[in-house]
Structure 1
C-alpha cells in the first residue's frame, strides 16, 4: 500500500543504503513531522562526548561535528513523491532538491531518492496526528519549533549562509585556527528531546551543539503551547525569541489521513 502523506509524529531511521553501495545503521536519525512541517537530526555514532562547560574543541570533535546533518522546513507531497523544502540546513545547501518516493507498509516507510539513488528505511515510532504544533522563528535567522506527541525539535539556522554545494568538513578544515570563523560555521542548532518529566522540563537529549544536551529546551520550563498563536522564549543574555504558529491541531489543519494509513 502506498500512502503519500507523511504522518505527524516521530520517525526513526533504521538504515540507509547509499549510492556507492555502502550502508549505515549506526547513525542516530530522528525525523519529527508536525502537520506540513518537519525537522530532522542525524548524529554520527562515533561523535566524541563533550564535557559540560567544554569550550576548546579538539580537531577530532570538530571533524565529528562537521559530519552531522540536520534540516527543517516544509514538506510538499504530490502523489507518491515528497519534497522536503529546507528552510535551514546544518550542512551547506545542496545542489539538488531533497525529494523522495515514499512506500508505506504499516508502520514502515521506505524512501527512494529521486535526485540521488539512496534508499532509507524508517520506523513510525510515535503517532501524533491529533496532537502537534509547528512554530516559525520571527527574526533574521530561519528557525522552526515543532511539538508532536511526546517529542520536540528546535532548529535555528546560521546568521551567515554557507556556500552552496560545499562540504562543511572542508570549510572547517579551511577555517582551522580561526576561532570566530569556526563558531560561525557551527552556529546551527538542531535539538531534539522528549516533552515529559516532572516537572515538565523538556530536556534536550540530542543536539548538533552537544554542549546543549541535558539542558532544558526553555530555561523557564516547558512552554504553554496549546492554543497559542505565539510563544515567547526568554534568553539568558540576549533578550528573547518570538515563535509564531504556522500550524497545529488547534487550527483544524492536518495533512494526515489516519483511515487511509490504517487501510
Structure 2
C-alpha cells in the first residue's frame, strides 16, 4: 500500500460534524493523527469524568465511557477518496467501511464528505503537528494478536493499544456492557487505551491531554529522557516495555504495518 500524500500528514482536530438528519456536534474532542501510512483517531464526548482507574469508577461512569470511540490502522488515499482501514477499534468491529471524499479548503483546513452525502466534517490541522512524522505498529510479546501503535507528528503523539482480552462481537460497546455480569467484566470491556498528547521535543515528559482512560489524563506516557526524534526510539527496549496502562507481560515488539 502506498503512502498517503504529504498534505494529509499531521494532527487534525475536528471542528464540526453535520449530518443530513440535522444532527451536529462541535463539542466532542476528536483528534486524527496521520503518519505516512499509519493513523489513529480518538473521539471523547464532552462529559468530564474523575481521573480514576476503571475499577474505581462507578457503574454509571463506566457506562458513559461506552460512548467513546477510537481506532487505528492504515490509511489509503486515491485521488480525493480517503479510506481508513481500522485494524484495532475501541468499539466492536462492525465491518462498515470508513471512507470519505476529501477537499482541502486550505492547507490546514480539510472538508470530509460522506460518499452518499449523509454527513460532512470540518477538520483543522494543529500547527505544532508539522515536522517529523513517524509511526510503528506493535504486537504484544506474549500474545501477537494483541496490537497497538505509537505515532508521532511534530510535537504530538498518539499511543493505541487493544484490550488484553478481545471483545466479543456486538453492535455497540453499550450492548456488551449491559450484558456484563460483574464490575470486573465491565472494566475489562473498557481496557482499550488511546492516549493523545505532546512531548515538547523531549524537553518535558510526554504529557497525555486526552485519553479513553480518564486516569491517564494529565499523566505521562514516557519520561522526558525519551527523545521522540531518536532514530532508534522504536527499538528502545525501555520504551517498548513501558508503553501504556495494560502493558503485556513481555512488553511490546515492533511489527510490520497491518
Shorter-chain TM range is 0.7 to 0.9
Distance 1:86 1:115, change over 3 A: farther
Count of matched residue positions in the alignment of Structure 1 and Structure 2: 242
Q: CA deviation at 1:35?
A: 1.3
Structure 1 counterpart of 2:61: 61
Correspondence list, 1:101-112, <5 A: 101-106=101-106, 107-112=108-113
Structure 2 counterpart of 1:122: 123
Q: TM-score, normalised by structure 2?
A: 0.83
Cα offsets for 1:65-117 (capped at 9, x unmatched): 00001111110111111110111111111231101110111121111123782
Q: CA deviation at 1:138?
A: 2.6
- Residue 114 of structure 1 aligns to a residue whose secondary structure is coil
Structure 1 counterpart of 2:155: 150
Structure 2 counterpart of 1:161: 166
Q: CA deviation at 1:220?
A: 7.4
Q: TM-score, normalised by structure 1?
A: 0.81
Structure 2 residue 195 is matched with structure 1 residue 191: yes
Distance 1:221 1:60 in 2: 39
Distance 1:42 1:13, change over 3 A: same
Q: CA deviation at 1:225?
A: 4.7
Structure 2 counterpart of 1:261: none
Structure 1: which 5+ residue stretches go unaligned?
A: 248-263
CA RMSD after TM alignment:
2.7
Structure 2 counterpart of 1:42: 43
Distance 1:128 1:215 in 2: 20
1:241 to 239, 244, 251: 251
Q: CA deviation at 1:48?
A: 2.2
Structure 2 counterpart of 1:182: 186
Distance 1:92 1:223, change over 3 A: farther
Distance 1:29 1:181, change over 3 A: same
1:69–1:91 Cα contact (<8 Å) kept: yes
Distance 1:165 1:126, change over 3 A: farther
Structure 2: which 5+ residue stretches go unaligned?
A: none
1:202–1:216 Cα contact (<8 Å) kept: yes
Distance 1:242 1:220 in 2: 20
Distance 2:110 2:250 in 1: 38
1:135–1:230 Cα contact (<8 Å) kept: no
- Residue 173 of structure 1 aligns to a residue whose secondary structure is helix
1:204–1:215 Cα contact (<8 Å) kept: yes
